[in-house]
Amino acid sequence: MSAKSARKEIALLYARVSTQMQVNDGMSLDAQERDLKRAAEHAGFTEFEILREEGRSGKSIKGRPVLSAALAKLDKGEAAAIFVTRIDRLARSTQDFLSIVDRANSNNWRIVMLDLNLDTASYQGRFVVTIMSALAEMERAIIAERQKDVHRDRREKGKVWGVDLGLKTKVSAEVRLQISEYRSLGMSYGKIAEKLNEENIPPTRGAKWYASTIHSLVNNLKDKGSI
């Protein structure tokens, strides 16, 4: 039996606060719960599960075990909808929000956000999230095109990052040659860093060489044709 046909008509009421101040300023977990129960009942749900996540930031989905478990339950067909009082209770980043929308669409469950009066079970709600997804995709495409234009302009002007633009390496030609020789011997970035530290060759910044430093330096010098 598919998750869709076996889906339990249970609404998950997700309430979250990230700080004690939010608990005290009128948007406490209890206040969210009251609004969510009222909305779920109005939407026709007779069964619901209250999920409380306290002291967790909405900056990212990661680090919110209650929400992660709720989304997994929805994907499995163990619940039919998730209700939140505001969109930022669910996700603060567009990327996280749209990833949740994609999961809802793929696994046929609803998202209800009280602040936007939005329910993805309705065609109006689906239209809104579709527009949001399209706008986010367009924004990513515009940013990518801008970056391409910048790189094309640099190439046409003969500008090289790390030489004419951006950070310029202060590593001497001797050290660059040494790193190049180590790489030709198949040494890893970490081993090269270790070798330079053993030989007391001072880095351009910081107290010692690191694998990440060597990696960045090698890539930078390759772009400039210096290694």
* Tens-level pLDDT at each residue, the chain (227 residues): 444 545 789 999 999 887 655 555 555 888 899 999 999 999 999 999 999 988 777 777 888 999 999 999 999 999 999 999 988 888 887 788 888 998 998 999 999 999 889 999 888 888 888 887 777 677 777 877 877 777 677 667 665 544 445 445 567 777 888 888 888 888 888 899 898 888 888 877 677 888 888 888 787 766 555 55
**Structure confidence at residue 107 (pLDDT):** 94
pLDDT given at position 52: 92
CATH-assigned architecture of domain 11-132: 3-Layer(aba) Sandwich (3.40)
User: Which secondary structure element, helix H or strand E, spans residue 122, and what is its range?
Assistant: none
Residues 6+ apart with CB under 8 A from 129: 98, 101, 111, 118, 120
pLDDT at 94: 78
Domain assignments of the chain as residue spans, ordered by start: 11-132, 173-224
Cα(209)–Cα(197) distance, rounded to whole angstroms? 6
Radius of gyration of the chain (CA): 26
Model pLDDT, residue 218: 80
- Predicted confidence at residue 65, as pLDDT, reads 92
What pLDDT is recorded for position 1? Answer: 42
- Residue 2 confidence (pLDDT): 47
pLDDT score, position 180: 84
pLDDT at position 24 is 54
Identify which of 15, 177, 23, 161 has the alpha carbon closest to the alpha carbon of residue 85.
Answer: 15
**C-beta pairs of 209-217 under 8 Å, 24+ apart in sequence:** 214/179, 214/189, 214/190, 215/189, 217/169, 217/171, 217/179
Question: End-to-end distance of the chain based on CA atoms, in angstroms?
Answer: 60
Identify the H or E element spanning 107: helix 94-107
pLDDT given for residue 197 in this prediction: 87
